[in-house]
Amino acid sequence: MTHYPLIAPRPPKLSEHLDALRRVEQSGIYSNNGPEVRGFEADVTERLFGGAGASLAVANATLGLMIAIREAATPRFAPGALALMPALTFAATAQAAEWAGLTPLIADIDPETWSIDPDIEERLLALHGRRIAVVVPYATFGNAIDLDRYAWLQRRYEVGVVIDAASSLGTIDAAGKGFGADAPFATVFSMHATKTFAVAEGGLVHSGDTGLIDRLRAMINFGFQGQRSATLPGLNAKLPEVLAVMARAKLEEIEAVCAGRAAVEAAYRDALGDRFMLQTPLGTRRAIQFMPVLLPEALAGKRAAIVDTLAAEGVGCGQYFSPHLGEQPWFRDTALIEPTPVSDAVAGRMLSLPVTDAMTADDARRIAATLARACDAQAGTAPTAAYPTAPAIASLLVIGGGPAGTALLDAATKRGLLPDLAASGLVMVERDTMLGGGRLGRYGINSDSTAETFLSAIKDNVHPELADLIDHPAARDVARYSGALGVPLTVAGPLIRAMGERLGSLVERHGGTLLTGHEAIEARQTGDGLWNVRLRRLADGAEIEQRARHIAIATGGHQPLDRLAQQQVAGAPLVASAGDRLIQSDEVLGVDGYARIADLLGGKRDPRVVVIGGSTSAIATIALLLKSSPAIPWGPQAITLLHRRALRPFYPTPEAAHEEGFTDFGPDDICPVSGFVYRLAGFRLEARELVLRMMRVDGRTPEPRVRFHRIAGDDAEARGHLAEADLVIAAMGYRPRVLPLSDANGDPIDLAAHHDAAMVDKHCRIVGADGQPIANAFGIGLAAGFVPWGPMGGEKSFVGQANGLWQWQNDVGLMIVDQVLGQSARAVA
């Protein structure tokens, strides 16, 4: 039986290069960029990169990544700076970023090329802005990814770029050049014994920017430039002369090696392509290290058995990269991880087949046939994709696992009730691949909750898994805003996701069920007092019905377009007044919203904007317009706020208000529990400061680019502002996303939320249009319309809806938990 090892290292034999070794001995130079290293660098630049740019030999590729990442990140290097990279790469990519002082930001991949998804990449660059100090794409399995696009990203976002091309030395791009030639950033290659360019150990950094290579050369020599005095961050990463001898020898044979491996890859593709999913190749030739292939989805659960069968047939097999970065324990605790559904699926089905210098195309065809037989043997017993085991009747089915849904779980932890809630038959339904996602982290504004509020959810939590998050990078990022006017939601979002992931693990450990990647379509009452909830799995559209004693809708809010058609402002229909100049604030507040506004107003010499509304989102919209960059040339009073109700600032005590000369409040405006003035109606943090300025409280100077105008009935002045505006932004709050509910006869239930009323009552119960609560149905979250009462506090004068993460994570969430567990206990009794 012929044996095919996955990897068969074949570096040059030193015994065949005695003359070169004698040359090293005679020179008396064994390291420190000696003649062999310099000769190799010049030769490899000429032969693999067409003489363009310069190359730097390093002791290994990980050290090369470390110095290149650190150098590229320098303009944005600061505590909490991020290195954006794909999930499907080797641990060295993320480790190098961490050793360089950055936090890895791990993102999902494209389903065809298996490189970082370009749309996600650009979304995250817009989302995190200057916090991303460097982008570190991986040239997956030797693929020649589009470096021109990364040069554009480097210019567009003024961000550092370093290409991890560990397996690509010898790859040729689509233009027929060596991969990395002419690129304005560093491309880092490995010369490890297991790579196609096999030496023993070593790496190579190439760039079209010779000045960059000069800086990196100093950095690998302790940061010395010229004299022995550190002027740059540095370490010792120099390649020894003996290894340079081997590298020069390998360079002589690399063309033949790559050509042979390319023939093996072509044979694999011909034999496997009709049955297995293969990576889309990029470039004209890959310096392929092994052949990656995805098992059919139905056989993913049988991968271990297939690997054992291949081994018994003499075929070595690997699983690069499974687990991917986002699944590895160290990075789960130290990195920021985006949802990675494609990486999860690809890593879960990945096999790596042998490609060695000794193999032929016939060998590849024989291995492909062996793989096919192994899969056929397992096909009859392969499990089909099934739903996770869920209770026949859930005690509570929570629809939505974003900030509000996870806040309910966090509230349960505050009284040690999460284990009981989970064990009673809790089912969480979430469209995303993990709990804690939602849209909160995709807004480009600051929170109206403090950093301390976000951290209170985990600090000293009874569950160590949550308490330990206080040292997670996401929590440290939030903590940096302690005492500030809120937290950027792009910073708060990763902490909510990290909490959601751990809360989900706690739910499952204590007997609850997570149905991530699912959506609820509708819920119908049954004759026996239960709910039948129809669920759809997003991956394949499969549907089930889940019965539940209670449901909780935590699906957030939105700004429906039909509301604009009915809106009257200053005595005239808003749509008629604003026409095609009208947009909603939710479009502005997203991370790419300001760029859209800048485009809409581009070319206007004196742009005029009207914002309509008296909510936090209205003030947040104005703050975003004022502080974002590149700045729009706002003139005096260029931004007008039209509002109906008086704008109220929050104060911690009546005395604090009086000290600043603010007296526009009475006894009904003071919370009887906390003593706060306008506890619910008052603007806080960044919005509060703008309101106080515009009201000239305590001698504050109004923002000259803004004016506030309170609408009074048929208001001609307000209509004039609307007529003059280049853009009108409606910031009229949010309405809840309400799941369709029907009664036991299948007839739709008319809800109060359908008529612009609050979705829930004082007990968080969903309310019908008749004002009566719907049995065993709860709501929580943005736009639910809950108003605190009794021991929860709040001023008597408050009108409207109260939305607050702290409330959801405490009294509001516990109100639902207590009702569910109380009824469950009575049912058991």
Read off the CATH number of the domain in which 600 is found: 3.50.50
Read off the CATH number of the domain in which 542 is found: 3.50.50.60
Shared-domain flag, residues 240 and 101: yes
Q: Is residue 250 pLDDT above 50, yes or no?
A: yes
Residue 286 · residue 279 · CB < 8 Å: no
What backbone torsions phi and psi does residue 540 show, to the nearest 5 degrees? -140, 0
Shared-domain flag, residues 466 and 357: no
Last residue of a domain, one of 231, 255, 279: 255
User: Of the given ranges (3-12, 52-61, 63-72), which has the lowest mean pLDDT?
Assistant: 3-12
Beta strands in 381-505 (DSSP E): 393-399, 426-430
pLDDT at 382: 43
Tokens of 22: 């004698």
Q: Is residue 824 pLDDT above 80, yes or no?
A: no
Over residues 4-32, the pLDDT tens digits come to 999 999 999 999 999 989 999 999 999 99
Q: Is residue 381 pLDDT above 60, yes or no?
A: no
Shared-domain flag, residues 241 and 279: no
Over residues 546-595, the pLDDT tens digits come to 999 999 999 999 998 888 888 889 888 999 888 899 999 999 998 889 98
Shared-domain flag, residues 347 and 423: no
pLDDT at 826: 44
Over residues 642-699, the pLDDT tens digits come to 999 999 999 999 999 999 999 999 999 999 999 999 999 999 999 999 999 999 999 9
Last residue of a domain, one of 255, 286, 309: 255
Q: Kindly indicate the confidence band of residue 273, based on its pLDDT and cuts at 50, 70 and 90.
A: confident
Is the residue at 456 inside a domain?
A: yes
Q: Kindly indicate the confidence band of residue 799, based on its pLDDT and cuts at 50, 70 and 90.
A: confident
Over residues 330-361, the pLDDT tens digits come to 999 999 999 899 999 999 999 999 999 999 99
Rounded to whole angstroms, the Cα distance separating 294 from 279 reads 8
Which carries the bigger pLDDT value, residue 713 or residue 324? 324
Is the residue at 4 inside a domain?
A: no
Q: Is residue 212 pLDDT above 70, yes or no?
A: yes
Q: Kindly indicate the confidence band of residue 804, based on its pLDDT and cuts at 50, 70 and 90.
A: confident
pLDDT at 282: 96
Shared-domain flag, residues 207 and 59: yes
Cis amide prior to 630 (ω within 30 degrees) = yes
Last residue of a domain, one of 255, 276, 310: 255
3-class state of residue 497 by DSSP: helix
Q: Kindly indicate the confidence band of residue 821, based on its pLDDT and cuts at 50, 70 and 90.
A: very high
pLDDT at 387: 55
Q: Is residue 103 pLDDT above 50, yes or no?
A: yes
Mean per-residue pLDDT for 372-380?
90
pLDDT at 566: 83
Compute the mean pLDDT over every residue in the chain, rounded to the nearest whole number: 93
Shared-domain flag, residues 773 and 793: yes
Q: At what angle do helices 210-219 and 61-73 cross, to 10 degrees?
A: 110
Mean per-residue pLDDT for 750-776?
95
pLDDT at 499: 96
Read off the CATH number of the domain in which 177 is found: 3.40.640.10
Shared-domain flag, residues 37 and 136: yes
Mean per-residue pLDDT for 22-45?
95
Mean per-residue pLDDT for 82-87?
98
Mean per-residue pLDDT for 197-201?
96
Over residues 481-536, the pLDDT tens digits come to 999 989 999 999 999 999 999 999 999 999 999 999 999 999 999 989 999 999 99
Of 829, 821, 8, residue with least CA distance to 424: 821
Mean per-residue pLDDT for 471-490?
93
Q: Is residue 406 pLDDT above 50, yes or no?
A: yes
Is the residue at 677 inside a domain?
A: no
pLDDT at 388: 65
Shared-domain flag, residues 236 and 314: no
Q: Which residues have a Cβ under 8 Å from the Cβ of 311 and sit 6 or more positions away?
A: 317
CA distances to 238, 247, 324 from 66, in Å: 13, 21, 20
How many domains are contained in the chain? 4
Is the residue at 673 inside a domain?
A: no
Shared-domain flag, residues 398 and 268: no
Q: Kindly indicate the confidence band of residue 384, based on its pLDDT and cuts at 50, 70 and 90.
A: very low
% of the chain with per-residue pLDDT over 70? 98
Mean per-residue pLDDT for 189-200?
97
pLDDT at 829: 42
Shared-domain flag, residues 211 and 237: yes
Give the range of the structural domain holding residue 216, as residue numbers without chain letter: 18-255
Residue 44 · residue 197 · CB < 8 Å: no
Is the residue at 333 inside a domain?
A: yes
Is the residue at 94 inside a domain?
A: yes
- Entry pTM: 0.85
pLDDT at 350: 97
% of the chain with per-residue pLDDT over 90? 86
Q: Is residue 437 pLDDT above 90, yes or no?
A: no
Is the residue at 754 inside a domain?
A: yes
Is the residue at 641 inside a domain?
A: yes
Of 280, 308, 283, 311, residue with least CA distance to 294: 280
Q: Which residues have a Cβ under 8 Å from the Cβ of 737 and sit 6 or more positions away?
A: 555, 556, 557, 558
Shared-domain flag, residues 432 and 545: yes
Rounded to whole angstroms, the Cα distance separating 795 from 171 reads 69
Rounded to whole angstroms, the Cα distance separating 542 from 505 reads 24
Shared-domain flag, residues 373 and 509: no
